[in-house]
Amino acid sequence: MLQVANLREDKANAVKGLLKRNIDNAESLIDGVIALDDRRKALQTELDSVLAESNQISKSIGILMKEGKKQEAEEVKAKTAELKQRSKILQEESQEIEKELTNSLYQIPNIPHEDVKQGKGEDDNEILSEHGQKPDLYAGKKPHWDLIKEYDIIDFDLGIKITGAGFPVYKGKGARMQRALLNFFLDEANKQGFKEIQPPVVVNEASGIGTGQLPDKEGQMYHLEDTDLYLIPTAEVPITNLLRGDIINEEDLPIKLTAYTPCFRKEAGSWGAHVRGLNRLHQFDKVEIVQVQHPDKSYEALAEMSNYIQSLLKKLELPYRVLRLCGGDLGFTAALTYDMEVWSAAQEKWLEVSSVSNFETYQSNRLKLRYKDADKKKHLLHTLNGSALAFPRILAAILENNQSEKGIRVPKILQSYTGFEWID
């Protein structure tokens, strides 16, 4: 959530940033927020005045009674009652304005970083670098949805039987590959100083609001209406909310956390060939990394997280490229995002497998997550997160890129985790 004070102080820059996101009414949105804040301040000023006057004249009632001025005392009592009624009305109005102001701020996305370019969507993202050699596969290459049937390692039909489309069942070496990826990613995160967490996979409304998944503008979250809880779309939500409302000592920064969780997304509006097989699922596994950082060091941390995720892709022997998202493809809460995409040799296309983002103070303002400096002053922190990594498309690329007449070769780094070198 943006800070009203910042919108006031640098409205022109805020409008310029939101225009990168193709929000044409950015100025009117910001003007509306400032107007609400002006009204809130005016109400608070009037309320403070009414309460001060009420307190002052209330003290005179006892004095008047002692002096035998009963009539004057009764008049003061009546005046006090009027002031109390007025203060009640002002408090109710103030609460409504505060709620309207907060809801208005919820509708405005984060201001993109100056490096973010304007663009309509994914076709306008900037390709920053490309790494690795695309494999030259044999003539009989197959997409992963055919390979998983041939080697009987993932069963979509069983998933439909017990749940529905988009909930695959991993079997045999497919299940062991999942476990291998889980342990590999967590072990690597631990080596990088990320503390491992095992959080709940359902969260309350406050948690969803805290990290910006709620209000759910895209209808992607599964809502458990009978309990008013939500299935998590990413471990970012419970991990970051562990610190909601906290005040961190500056010397305790950075805070680096990681977790493995299943993730749940409705994927509303998805269709076509790009959702086949493992390309897009309603339930999938992912290891997430989160950092809570000092504002002066957050972009250095973002670069480190991006490099770390790239190191995983190199160890998995996967060709990949790095993109910087344009304004039109940037997530609602992010200020800057790098995407990592791996080359899927049989599909002959790039698949996004990770996003690493800096949210600056957008999440921490909602979370009331602050740090205390050496002078005991409190400031909002910066939050960052990244997929390190999401399993399905990584597995799809491994299967496709390593297939041969003999079978599917398991990347060397995973062989100690799987206990086998080939899927055959």
- Higher-confidence residue of 199 and 74: namely 199
Q: How confident is the model at residue 150 (pLDDT cuts 50, 70, 90)?
A: very high
339-364 per-position pLDDT tens digit: 999 999 999 999 999 999 999 999 99
Which parts are annotated binding residues for L-serine?
234, 265, 288, 385
Which parts are annotated binding residues?
234, 265-267, 288, 352-355, 385
pLDDT of residue 269: 57
Task: Please check the confidence at residue 271 and state whether its pLDDT lies above 70.
Answer: no
Q: Say which range, 17-26, 216-225, 335-344, has the weakest mean pLDDT.
A: 216-225
- Fold classification of 122-423 is BirA Bifunctional Protein; domain 2 (3.30.930)
Helix (H) or strand (E) holding 127: strand 126-131
251-264 per-position pLDDT tens digit: 999 999 999 999 99
Q: In what order do the strands lie in the sheet with 378-380?
A: 247-249, 370-372, 378-380
Task: Please check the confidence at residue 91 and state whether its pLDDT lies above 80.
Answer: yes
170-196 per-position pLDDT tens digit: 999 999 999 999 999 999 999 999 999
230 C-beta neighbours (distance < 10 Å), count: 22
pLDDT of residue 62: 65
pLDDT of residue 55: 82
Task: Please check the confidence at residue 279 and state whether its pLDDT lies above 60.
Answer: yes
324, 335 Cβ separation under 8 angstroms: no
CATH number of 4-106: 1.10.287.40
pLDDT of residue 77: 78
Q: Interior CA angle at 280 toward 278 and 286, to 5°?
A: 80
Task: Please check the confidence at residue 378 and state whether its pLDDT lies above 90.
Answer: yes
Whole-number Å distance between alpha carbons of 200 and 398: 29
pLDDT (mean) for 323-340:
98
Closest Cα partner for 403 from 141, 148, 132, 152? 141
Q: Say which range, 68-77, 309-318, 353-362, has the weakest mean pLDDT.
A: 68-77
Quote the mean pLDDT of the chain. 95
Q: Which sequence spans correspond to the domains of the chain?
A: 4-106, 122-423
Task: Please check the confidence at residue 309 and state whether its pLDDT lies above 60.
Answer: yes
pLDDT of residue 79: 83
pLDDT of residue 64: 67
Q: Say which range, 231-240, 268-277, 413-422, has the weakest mean pLDDT.
A: 268-277
110-130 per-position pLDDT tens digit: 999 999 999 999 999 999 999
Which parts are annotated binding residues for ATP?
265-267, 352-355
Q: How confident is the model at residue 54 (pLDDT cuts 50, 70, 90)?
A: confident
pLDDT above 90 covers what percent of the chain?
89
Q: What are phi and psi of 222, to 5 degrees?
A: -80, 125
pLDDT of residue 274: 63
> Mapping DSSP to helix (H, G, I), strand (E, B) and coil, where does residue 421 land?
coil
Q: In what order do the strands lie in the sheet with 255-264?
A: 126-131, 320-324, 336-344, 349-360, 382-390, 283-293, 255-264, 195-197
pLDDT of residue 268: 66
22 C-beta neighbours (distance < 10 Å), count: 14
Q: What are phi and psi of 98, to 5 degrees?
A: -60, -40
pLDDT of residue 78: 84
**What one-letter code names the amino acid at 418?**
T
Task: Please check the confidence at residue 384 and state whether its pLDDT lies above 80.
Answer: yes
Peptide bond into 389 cis (omega under 30): yes
152-173 per-position pLDDT tens digit: 999 999 999 999 999 999 999 9
Task: Please check the confidence at residue 96 and state whether its pLDDT lies above 90.
Answer: yes
SS3 sequence, 91-117?
A: HHHHHHHHHHHHHHHHCCCCCCCCCCC
pLDDT of residue 89: 96
HSE-CB at 415 with a 13 A cutoff on CA atoms is: 11
Helix runs in 354-390, H state only: 362-367
322, 77 Cβ separation under 8 angstroms: no
Give pTM, 2 decimals.
Answer: 0.93
pLDDT (mean) for 307-334:
98
Task: Please check the confidence at residue 131 and state whether its pLDDT lies above 80.
Answer: yes
Distances (CA, A) of 183 to 11, 319, 396: 47, 22, 18
Task: Please check the confidence at residue 65 and state whether its pLDDT lies above 80.
Answer: no
pLDDT (mean) for 205-209:
97
